[in-house]
């Protein structure tokens, strides 16, 4: 049986239907959210706060052999309590699950990390897994600590742990505050698209369907370690806005507001390691991914 945390989140809602389709025996661990009705006869639904060890260990009677750990606290910009919440959920919660996995001798642990562990830069930068990680946000720090915990439990307790560093994920179900979603809503409604800065800052956009494929490849493989999961393609924010306007046949205009801070770039991921060891290859380029999302 596979235990999936964070199943009701953005990636989880894309992953669970595919795992169901493939016939996996699933249990989903949720906290305060409600599982979709169409899951109820197909998965075991469990409730626990992963930051509380006693709640995690309360589910010990189920025959788990693998864990996919998607659950995370992702702060909105400049939340006052973000460090404490990132620490409790993303670090302590991850450690609780790894400890549970070690005691239960669970075969495999798939951890969802983020390219944000590399930090951000003024100029576009392509990064490999061996590049130095220097996160500047509490979220990025917490994700890196989660990776370090996975590595410790792998070396000390023999857990076959895999950390997947996702680039900028988009697709059906993405949170409303994502810049990708904001641009789409503006374009569809014909409103002007606002970009703070010159729009030269780049992202490595990857479709959530490709993320699902990467998770399943990691789940079914025996490899361990850390892997970049992206496309390796840099797209500027102004370029993204232009693509969205073209695909949606929108009359929206792009309006720039002076803010140099917003011109910073996120890492572009070298995915050669994932290609060689996991067999990962992104299927959706940005244009196809957007078309698939908006069903144009």
Residue pair 223/162 in contact by the 8 Å Cβ criterion: yes
Q: What is the model's pLDDT at position 36? A: 83
The answer to whether residue 175 sits within a structural domain is: no
Residue pair 144/184 in contact by the 8 Å Cβ criterion: no
Distance CA 140, CA 116 (A): 5
pLDDT level of residue 248 (50, 70, 90 thresholds): very high
71 pLDDT higher than 90: yes
262 pLDDT higher than 80: no
The answer to whether residue 159 sits within a structural domain is: yes
Q: What is the pLDDT of residues 76-112, one digit of tens each?
A: 766 667 889 999 999 999 999 999 999 999 999 999 9
Q: What is the model's pLDDT at position 8? A: 94
CATH number at residue 210: 3.40.50.720
174 or 68, which is more confident: 68
The answer to whether residue 143 sits within a structural domain is: yes
The answer to whether residue 186 sits within a structural domain is: no
Give how many domains the chain has, as a whole number. 1
The answer to whether residue 176 sits within a structural domain is: no
Q: What is the model's pLDDT at position 294? A: 79
Q: Which domain holds residue 14?
A: 2-170+205-231+271-282
The answer to whether residue 154 sits within a structural domain is: yes
Distance CA 237, CA 201 (A): 6
296 pLDDT higher than 50: no
Distance CA 103, CA 119 (A): 34
Distance CA 124, CA 21 (A): 39
**Mean pLDDT value across residues 21-42:** 89
pLDDT level of residue 258 (50, 70, 90 thresholds): confident
The answer to whether residue 37 sits within a structural domain is: yes
The answer to whether residue 191 sits within a structural domain is: no
């Amino acid at each position: 049986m596979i235990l999936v945390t964070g199943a009701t989140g953005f990636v989880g809602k894309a992953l669970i239907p595919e795992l169901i389709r493939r016939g996996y025996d699933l249990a989903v661990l949720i906290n305060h959210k409600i599982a979709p009705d169409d899951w109820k006869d197909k998965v075991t639904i469990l409730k626990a706060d992963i930051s509380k060890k006693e709640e995690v260990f309360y589910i010990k009677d189920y025959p788990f052999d693998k864990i996919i750990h998607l659950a995370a606290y992702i702060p909105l910009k400049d939340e006052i309590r973000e460090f404490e919440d990132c620490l409790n959920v993303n670090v302590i919660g991850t450690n609780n699950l790894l400890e549970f996995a070690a005691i239960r001798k669970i075969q495999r642990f798939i951890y969802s990390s983020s390219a944000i562990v590399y930090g951000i830069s003024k100029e576009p930068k392509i990064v490999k897994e061996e590049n130095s990680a220097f996160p500047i946000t509490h979220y990025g720090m917490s994700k890196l600590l989660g990776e370090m915990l996975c590595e410790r439990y792998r070396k000390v307790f023999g857990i076959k742990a895999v950390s997947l560093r996702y680039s900028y994920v988009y697709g059906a179900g993405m949170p409303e505050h994502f810049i990708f979603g904001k641009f789409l809503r503006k374009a569809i409604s014909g409103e002007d698209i606002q970009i703070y800065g010159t729009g030269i800052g780049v992202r490595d956009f990857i479709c959530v369907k490709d993320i699902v494929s990467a998770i399943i490849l990691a789940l079914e493989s025996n490899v361990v370690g850390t892997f970049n999961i992206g496309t390796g393609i840099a797209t500027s924010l102004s370029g993204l806005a232009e693509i969205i306007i073209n695909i949606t046949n929108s009359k929206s205009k792009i309006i720039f507001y002076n803010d140099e801070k917003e011109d910073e770039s996120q890492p572009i991921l070298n995915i050669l390691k994932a290609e060689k060891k996991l067999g990962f290859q992104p299927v959706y380029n940005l244009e196809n991914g957007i078309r698939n999302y908006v069903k144009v």
